[in-house]
A and B are shown apart, each in its own frame.
Chain A
Amino acid sequence: MERKRSLKERLRDWDADAFDLTNEIAGPMHPAPAALPERPKDAEPEDALAAEDFRVLRRAYPILAALLGLMTVVFLLVAVFDLPPFGAAGTPTDNEVALRYVRDGMTETGAVNLVAGVILDYRAFDTLGESHVLFTALVAVLILLLKAEDPAIDDEGTLTLRQDRIVTTAASILVPIIVLFGLYVILNGHLGPGGGFSGGAIIGAGLILYAVAFGFSRLETKLNLGSFRIICLAALWFYSLSKCYSFFCGANGLHTVFSPGTPGRILSAGLILPLNAAVGIVVACTMYGLFSLFQRGKI
């Protein structure tokens, strides 16, 4: 006779590997199950904690969660009242670091936009990691949503977009302007607001609009998985190698070939302009790739 499992064992099972949902969705995209699980329409929603042992836990969970949220708010509000007044000068955040960045930032990096100088020169390592996070996210989505090369489960028909005359006409006017504006934002990253991330997102949005209006077939000849790999890897490698060079030279006090130049010129600020371009390329490719993967399951 089977022994009734104790609460402790059941809790352990509940948390065991068998319920790790990542096992359920690993591997290539399954075709959807043939039919929805049988369930009467007006049945109570099923509940993971419906079992007898968890009844107390199930009732207590919303109360505990609400209590936790309330406590967080109260503690944070109490802490917030001890902050220095908003917008005051001389607060702890307005310290010698900010002073140094503002005073010497332009002469040291050559960037008029100090934020670009901070993220792409003083703290460029941070931005490199960030570009890799974005690229890794694309790879993760690729693993999860890339459809298997099986014609039997290819449901291209249900996922094609309806061609609309208004959208097509508007897109033919707007796409060049959007892409041009994105290029402007990227290339002016060291002179004004903007930079690789925002400009890359704008160009990605332009590509997405083009794909929505005219279909993927025209873009596919230029932007497919092969060219994606080459473009993204080339941009990331360029970023890493050029930053390695400038870190090496900076640490050893050597003279670099990238000089800050005359601040305010378009060709100035040393590495910041090419790095902005590299980041912009990675971001634009990633945004378009995410759209394509969500839309039809392949790049």
Chain B
Amino acid sequence: MEYFELLLLGLLVACGAATCLTKNLLSAVVIFMAYSLVMSILWAILRAPDLAVTEAAVGAGISSLLLFLTLKKLRDLRRKAQEDGTEKES
């Protein structure tokens, strides 16, 4: 169990570093989601089941969902601006 815990800790630090080093924002958000999930498993091992349930629902679910939605919204805004720009030129 201790080695599993050590493995999870290593995975956690690796995920954290990978989130910050990734250039692509979409992959950064996906890795952040995995990070939250690993964190919730670690909390289940640390005998805090309330935290594990909450982190899995809020951190991995809602936070990442909001980040995804922001990315989608930014893409829509960019597309709209480009369309408007081309219309103006023509």
Contacts and interface: CB of A to CB of B under 8 A. Distances in A.
Contacts of B57: 198, 201-202, 205
Interface of B: 49-50, 52-54, 56-58, 61-62, 65-66, 69-70, 73, 76-77, 79-82, 84-85, 88
A86 B57 CA distance: 27
Nearest to A159: B76
Contact of A193 (B49, B58, B81): B49
Interface of A: 32-36, 113, 115-116, 155, 158-159, 185, 192-195, 197-198, 201-202, 204-205, 208, 287, 290-291, 294-295
B50 A194 contact: yes
Q: Which of B50, B61, B69 has the most CB of A within 10 A?
A: B50
B76 A201 contact: no
A294 B50 contact: no
Which 9 residue pairs spanning A and B have beta carbons closest together? A193-B49, A201-B57, A294-B69, A35-B85, A198-B54, A198-B53, A115-B50, A201-B58, A198-B57
B44 to A, nearest CB: 9
B80 to A, nearest CB: 6
Nearest to A196: B54
Contacts of B61: 201, 205
Contacts of B80: 32, 155, 158
B81 A36 contact: yes
